[in-house]
Amino acid sequence: MARLKVGIIFGGRSEEHPISVKSAQEIANNLDLGQYEPFWIGISQGGDWKLCDGPASDLDDDSCRQVELSPDSTVHGLRFLQGGDVETVRLDVVFPVLHGRFGEDGAMQGLLELSGIPYVGCDVQSSALCMDKSLAYIVAGSAGIATPTFWTFAAHESPDPEQFAYPVFVKPARSGSSFGVSKVSRKEDLPIAVEAARLYDSKVLIEQAVMGSEIGCAVLGNSPDLTTGEVDRVALSHGFFRIHQEAAPESGSENATFIVPADIPAESRALVQETAKTIYRALGCRGLARVDMFLTEDGTVILNEVNTLPGMTTYSRYPRMMAAAGISLTELIDRVLALALAGPNR
């Protein structure tokens, strides 16, 4: 039986490029080579596309060669030079193991739609919607989901520090992994936080701080058939949770530990899982996503954000939550690829 030809895209142009490489390396360690023939497609931070022997961190390595994913659906895959001739490889499915801009924001999904190749994860609309936290809040709020009180500011707008009750969080509206995020407890510090956020996005989001536990829920599937992993809780020793900001994240966070399953009452766990499913459906997600929420002392669940292509590294939350529910990374890969092949984005 012929193996499925799987294009695995990693790296990318966002600040999350190194995290994507680590995610792809973990995918490589858990991919069933009896079922799949992988084609490792690395994108440099400068935008070069390379076909590599594996998920290399150095795309200038001799094992990598220039390649492009054709938007021509009759090609349905890759084009590259071989001995002076243009060769093509027809791909059965693509797994975009990309995080952040140009990976989770609908840009890559749009290219894959043009190519006609089935792909893992959310479509163009839901990817773009979830990437913009303010828009995700508006849509989730219309579905009856609690969200933080928030304000957005365009590039030409300067927030008035007097209008907020502190503390607040200042974030790039369309970024990930806590890059450019600041907790502001004094109005004097707001302008600096806004400038830090604008290093990553011209649109800035300011949120009223939520008093509660940070809770996550991994969701897998296409509606109406959804599976959730075990709920996790982020236990902080100090400060606020800043994922992927550590010097050596594989050895643990500098101020956080992850409790899986979360040490919360059974009824709260069930509520978190059902709320995550509601958010997932409301935002049009498919394939997989990690839904981050807050659980307050009175039992209210409040949306924080949705990651449509969550990290797959050794220390990432999504595979850890799925593993706690009895779904290994190898099985998870099988299931998301099957969902892509069965879904409407073909």
Pairing assessment for the beta strands 93-96 and 4-11 based on DSSP bridges: parallel
CATH entry, 4-119, from 3.40.50.20, 3.40.50.150, 3.40.390.30, 3.40.50.970: 3.40.50.20
Q: Does domain 128-146+211-342 correspond to CATH entry 1.10.10.10? A: no
Distance, CA of 170 to CA of 105 (rounded, Å)? 20
CATH number of 150-208: 3.30.1490.20
Angle (CA) 53 87 339, round 5° = 65
289 beta partners: 219
Start-end of CATH 3.30.1490.20 domains in the chain: 150-208
Start-end of CATH 3.40.50.20 domains in the chain: 4-119
Distance, CA of 225 to CA of 295 (rounded, Å)? 25
Distance, CA of 287 to CA of 281 (rounded, Å)? 11
**pTM for the structure as a whole:** 0.91
183 — phi, psi (to 5°)? Answer: -95, 125
Instruction: Return the structure tokens found at 155.
Output: 């590039």
259 beta partners: 233
Distance, CA of 169 to CA of 207 (rounded, Å)? 5
pLDDT tens track, the chain, 346 positions: 799 999 999 999 998 999 999 999 999 999 999 999 999 999 999 999 999 999 988 888 778 999 999 999 999 999 998 878 899 999 999 999 999 999 999 999 999 999 999 999 999 999 999 999 999 999 999 999 999 999 999 999 999 999 999 999 999 999 876 889 999 999 999 999 999 999 999 999 999 999 999 999 999 999 899 999 999 999 986 455 555 545 566 555 566 789 999 999 999 999 999 999 999 999 999 999 999 999 999 999 999 999 999 999 999 999 999 999 999 999 999 999 999 999 764 4
30, 16 contact by CB (below 8 A): no
Residue with tokens 């890059």: 179
49, 41 contact by CB (below 8 A): yes
Start-end of CATH 3.30.470.20 domains in the chain: 128-146+211-342
